[in-house]
Structures are given as structure tokens and as C-alpha cells.
Structure 1
């Protein structure tokens, strides 16, 4: 199991200093974890909720106010269909932890799956409940669920969870014996991450508390009796993240847009060989 995740196993040397470009402009350090190889955001604020308090935090809304919002919603809908097609054919029940505005579950329900979602953000929760009903989307802890599911999904959620060492066993306990986890997280070892360095938008400190790579995910879940069975790329994430990174760099347009397309394409092409895509979906089963 994870031992002393908060201190002893974390190196004191910062890999990178990164700014919260989205909201506060505060700076944070990314520190390597010597046991597992992921990076930890330090310091981790005690009041994390205030770092989500913005109407511009797009994953908590269905906003289409401008072209950037519309692009995000288009990419989201494409990715939802892509994700659903990855699920085992015999899937009947699904829990989406951190379900946001519920769009993934709404599509899953249309495919006759029995769905349940957990969402702590009040704005996103209200939108999701409007789509699916108060009984299917709730703001509760994973430990409060009594059912088990064929599939549990976390789409860009694990990096937000403060207490991994207690959360992961609870998550696994909600799987049926042959159930699967599908977890998508950014990959700090991708080409676009190495290109943009401290401007890489997927660091998203301090909302992202942990920064994973394929190897660190394997090592982490192995300690909980799980194994990564398959990985899948999220092809469009490299373009979206590169475009947002160019925005954080205050790049002039249209040069920034063109460079984001080039970097996103290079990242995907390199990922075909290395498997270090900008974002990776992990299909995880019990050993």
C-alpha cells in the first residue's frame, strides 16, 4: 500500500515550478514521489474549493459562450462516444465518479445502461440532476455507496482526489468481482508536456494534486491488487491542451493556433510508438 504518501516518500527536490494560470496566478512546485514516480503538487491548499470557484471552469458547466467553449463541448461529445465504445459489451451497470454535468451518463443511459453518478460541485450537480434526476446523481462519498458495478469510470478525476490511499480501496470495493475501472488522466511524460514545460495546461495546479504517467499508474494500482489491462489514447486532448497552453503563453494568433495543431499532432504521432499520449485511458482489472 501507499506508505506516508504525504511526506516521507516524496522527494524534497522540485521538478518544476508551475503557476495557476487559470485563476489565481499562485505558484506551486511539482515534486516527484520516489516510490511511484508520479508528481505531487506542493503545497496542497487546505481550501481547494475556492480554486474551482469560477464560472469559467468549463467542466462544471455546459457553457457555449465563445468559440473556445464551443470547441470544448464539441470535443467532449466526441470523446463521450469514443469512451462508451471502449466499455465491455456485457456492461450493464456503471458508476461515473466525478460525473460533472452528467453528459457521459446521459449518453450511457440512452444505450440502456443502468447509471449512477457522484458529483460534489453544486453547479455541475444541479445540471446533471436536471438531465438524469436527483436519484441518479448525488453528492455523496464513495464509501456511502452500497451497490457494486460492472464498470466505474473516472474521467479526469483521479488527479483531483486528495486522499488516494483511502479512496482507491473504497473505489475497488464498489466493483463486481470481474468489474473494471476506466480511468483517464493527463500524462506528464507526453511530448506536449515536455514542449510546453511549466505552461502545460494539464498541470492545472492546484486543482490537479497528482500528475501521472503510465508507469506510475501501473505501480500505484499494483499495490492495491489491480493491474492495467489496456491503455487507450485520448487523441483530441493533445490539441485542446496545446491550444490552452498557447493561451497561457499569451501567444499571438494565428501563430498560437497553428503551433498548437502542430504540437498536438506530433504528440499523438510519438504516442503511437511510446504510448505516452497527452491523456491516457487506463482499463484496470483485478489481478
Structure 2
């Protein structure tokens, strides 16, 4: 099959070990769990140029057809993320903030709401999302991180980590654009901490998601990039509303399944990593 001919094989993106065990399958792709550090990742994945093209277009080829990630703005995210930003950055002023992978702009709007004195900008390679944000007056441009100039006090990647094929390279680009003592702000799940696929809520969205880190793995990765101090805060997602939504989704697919709230080990994790001065 053409898609299979365009795959490349990679070792663990965290520790570079080639030891692994099967963890999950979805959309014609397999996710494995590293035998050394526990990171979950797609071992046979699309080539780099195809990953970049999918990031621009928002559409990923799969064995079942395509996975369309050209999602629309979700307004509830703005007040939610504004509260998160206040938790980590309350009282800080005159910051230059760059949000990478800003999508439809909800997080940039949240920073503007939570910290009115902050100059917040966003970039995203997907032009359809950038156009939506710009129509709302949100300062987002269709750029890649390589194209960004200037330096920033904070760079954020919100639910972006799992999409990045080589975070050591990507993290180096971030570091080069941070001011001394600046910080990287991350949101991602703790998929690498989960023993089995059954512990992960919902779809994995392979191959849009390439890597699933755990907390210790993330701290190791950030440490290698020169972020000496890392704060993190974990948030549960398996609340009763989530359980009800999962029941509805499974019923619509013809396979109703009951989900019990407050029983899952999956967490959404926020990190603030400080660059060594």
C-alpha cells in the first residue's frame, strides 16, 4: 500500500532505545511502549515531510480513509485556560508571550483575558485555523517556529507536544527564542504513565498524535534541553460529564459502553519549565 511505503521507523523519542512492546492500534497505525522509559510512540510513522504537510492541511491519511483535524473554535476553552494561566502566572506583567500551534486562537485569547498587560501572539501552520482566528482579531500568523524572529519571556505549546516528531530539535528552536530565564509552558496528557491502552480516555488520534509522554519522561526531556526547574500540575479528566459524553459517543457508534467516573489514571498535565539563566 502507498501509505505503508511512505513510513519511517524510529526509536524512542525520549531515550532512543529500540526496545518496545505493542500498546495500541488505531487507524492502521501501531503505538508501542518503550521498554526502557515507558514513553508511548508510533514506531512506524509517516515521514517527516508528510507529517509537516498534514500539519498544514489538517488531514492525515489512514487505512480507513482520512483523519480530519481542521477543528472549529471551542469558546469554552477561553475562560478555562484563562484560569490556568492565572494559576501559573498571576501578577506577572510586561511579558512577551508566543503560543506555538495556536490553532483557532483560544489560548491566545485566554492569555489576553488573564494577563491584560502581556503581549500575546500565536503561530500555526494551518492556514484555515489562522484565518478563523484573524477574523476574530486574534493576533495569529501562519508561520512555523523556524520562521519566528525575536525573543520571548514565555513560549507555550498547548496540546502540541504529542504532534511533534522530534522534540529535541523543536525544543532547541524554542530555547533559542526564549529570553534568559524565560519559561516554556506545556499542556499534554500523561499517556506514557499508563500501563495499557484501556487507561487512555477516548481516541488516540493516530497518526496526528505521534508521542505520549509521562511526567518523569517529560522532565527528563526538558532537563536535557536546559530547563533546570520544572513545575507541574495534574488535572483529572474522568469526571461525570466526561463519562456521560463517552456513553453518548459509543452509543452513536452502535457500541454503547458505560464509563465509570473518577476511576481512570489518565491526567492532563501542565508544566512550567524555566530556562537556566
How high is the TM-score relative to the length of structure 2?
0.75
Q: Please report how far the alpha carbon of residue 15 of structure 1 lies from its aligned counterpart in structure 2 after TM superposition.
A: 2.9
CA distance in 2, matches of 1:44, 1:32: 14
Unaligned runs of 5+ in 1: 20-25, 63-71, 268-275
The aligned residue for residue 114 of structure 1 is 119
Q: 1:77 to 1:107 in 2, by over 3 A?
A: closer
Q: Once the two structures are superposed, what CA deviation does each residue of 1:91-114 show, in whole Å capped at 9, x if it has no partner?
A: 422110011111221232342320
The answer to which structure has the higher strand fraction is: 2
The aligned residue for residue 156 of structure 2 is 153
Alignment partner of 1:51 out of 49, 52, 60: 60
Q: Please report how far the alpha carbon of residue 206 of structure 1 lies from its aligned counterpart in structure 2 after TM superposition.
A: 0.9
Tell me, yes or no, if the aligned pair for 2:19 and 2:34 is still in contact at 8 Å: no
Q: Please report how far the alpha carbon of residue 79 of structure 1 lies from its aligned counterpart in structure 2 after TM superposition.
A: 2.4
CA distance in 1, matches of 2:241, 2:147: 35
The answer to which structure has the higher helix fraction is: 1
Q: 1:167 to 1:242 in 2, by over 3 A?
A: farther
Alignment partner of 1:169 out of 145, 167, 172: 172
Q: Once the two structures are superposed, what CA deviation does each residue of 1:108-139 show, in whole Å capped at 9, x if it has no partner?
A: 23423201111111221111112235xx3112
Q: What is the SS of the residue equivalent to 1:30? A: strand
**1:185 counterpart = 2:188:** yes
Bigger mean CA deviation after superposition, 242-251 or 203-212:
242-251
Q: Please report how far the alpha carbon of residue 33 of structure 1 lies from its aligned counterpart in structure 2 after TM superposition.
A: 3.8
How high is the TM-score relative to the length of structure 1?
0.73
Alignment of 1:123-272 (within 5 A): 123-132=128-137, 136-188=139-191, 194=196, 196-197=198-199, 200-201=201-202, 203-236=204-237, 247=249, 250=253, 256=258, 259=259, 262-263=260-261, 265-267=262-264
Higher relative contact order (CA 8 A, sep 6+): 1
Pairs aligned (count): 248
The aligned residue for residue 22 of structure 1 is none
CA distance in 1, matches of 2:246, 2:188: 17
Alignment partner of 1:16 out of 23, 28, 34: 23
Unaligned runs of 5+ in 2: 1-8
Alignment partner of 2:11 out of 4, 7, 14: 7
